[in-house]
Amino acid sequence: MCATASPTAAPLDGVTVLALEHAVAAPFASRQLADLGARVIKIERPGVGDFARGYDQTVHGMSSFFVWANRGKESLTLDLKHPRAAEIVRQLLGQADVLIQNLAPGATRRMGLDFDALHADFPGLIVCDISGYGDQGPYRDKKAYDLLIQAAAGLISVTGTEAEPSRAGISIADIAAGMYAYSGILSALLARARTGKGQRVEITMLEALGEWMSYPLNFAHYGGTPPARTGLAHPAIAPYGQYRTGDGGSVIFGLQNDREWQCFCREVLGNAALAADERFATNLQRVANRDALDAEIGAYLAHMTRDQLIERLDRGGIANAPLNDMHEVWAHPQFAARDRWREVATPAGPVQALLPPATLSRAPACMGSVPALGEHSAQILGALGVSDAQMDALRAERAI
């Protein structure tokens, strides 16, 4: 339930999500539902919880991954292998609109929590399954982690330099899967509003990232060769990429046409005559003579600071951005000017978090608290009719 003051109810107010989730993909999807006002009940393993809680201890002793992907949820500890767990889960499903899970391949099917097993008893329930490769095909039982899917989907093959491929610096396969799970669940909720029927939403990490790889896939399949790895440079445009200034700063900029090249020489480098140099007069010539071009530009930039270069690029209408580190991104003036930071409560004290990118004018994001492990167990189980004595027995058996 969203506590944020709003002129209207949160978009998903009244929607309950049961989450059998860990790591990043499913938690990121369900957190976005929580930001829209859904009640998200996160089932965690007693004693240890979601293993993402232990990824690091950088946020006041908490995991940066967990804090990011789990605000606004209720934490219920429950050993799903305990004899009473199935009864508790089914009671919760009777009140739920969505079940989301990214457990090991086949785990929910073995527990009778797959869509086919649940649909007869819970016809309105939406079941979202997130996996690496799906439940069909030769890879269905294969484990999948973000780095492995980056490799399998070909992202690593087109990322990095000519000499060395590289992974993306964030969990991009998990994030892609989480985004499609989130939008798929919203679509299924809209469909249920018309039909009254729930449905299965299946997301695979390979297919999510495969969609994002469609440009290089088309380029390679129909063109015969894959896009070259060029680091921060552009394979078909010059100048385009990272350029260093005399104070050690780095700026990314790129020119789109010969007109901009002439403006760049005049306004940024202060040498209009360079635009007519036959080695650089057209983009094709600049790409063919990229090393000489970069050396020429570098000689001018060696006498500038990063801020001076950015000011000249802006004055000349040349698209650019500083190559920011994480501290500079945190302090980005645009986030401050647009009031994008909010305080979020956690078991270790308040932290700052960015608002979700989609800004709804009449429904501010809920931005709920990050739960402690098992923080809501007694409240949730009590609402199901579990007595204090029964809860004590479940604790003694390490079931909760």
Residues with a catalytic annotation lie at 234
Would you say 40 and 31 are in contact if contact means Cβ atoms under 8 Å apart?
Answer: yes
Quickly list DSSP for 273-301: GGGG-TTTSSHHHHHHTHHHHHHHHHHHH
Show Cβ contacts of residue 194 under 8 Å, excluding neighbours closer than 6 positions: none
Would you say 81 and 113 are in contact if contact means Cβ atoms under 8 Å apart?
Answer: no
Map tokens 């129909």 to a residue.
222
Would you say 34 and 72 are in contact if contact means Cβ atoms under 8 Å apart?
Answer: yes
Write out the two tokens for 158: 């087109």
Rg (CA), the chain: 26
Map tokens 């932290």 to a residue.
351
Write out the two tokens for 145: 């982690």
Would you say 1 and 39 are in contact if contact means Cβ atoms under 8 Å apart?
Answer: yes
Largest distance between two CA atoms of the chain: 87
* Residue 311: its H or E element: helix 306-315
User: What is the C-alpha separation between 398 and 394, in angstroms, rounded?
Assistant: 6
Q: How many CB atoms lie within 10 A of CB 5?
A: 6
> Which one, of 80, 79, 76, 30, lies nearest residue 379 by Cα?
76
User: What is the C-alpha separation between 289 and 291, in angstroms, rounded?
Assistant: 6
Quickly list DSSP for 96-114: -SEEEE--STTHHHHTT-S
Hey, is 375 helix, strand or coil? coil
Quickly list DSSP for 161-188: -SS-B---SS-HHHHHHHHHHHHHHHHH
User: What is the C-alpha separation between 63 and 347, in angstroms, rounded?
Assistant: 12
Show Cβ contacts of residue 7 under 8 Å, excluding neighbours closer than 6 positions: 362
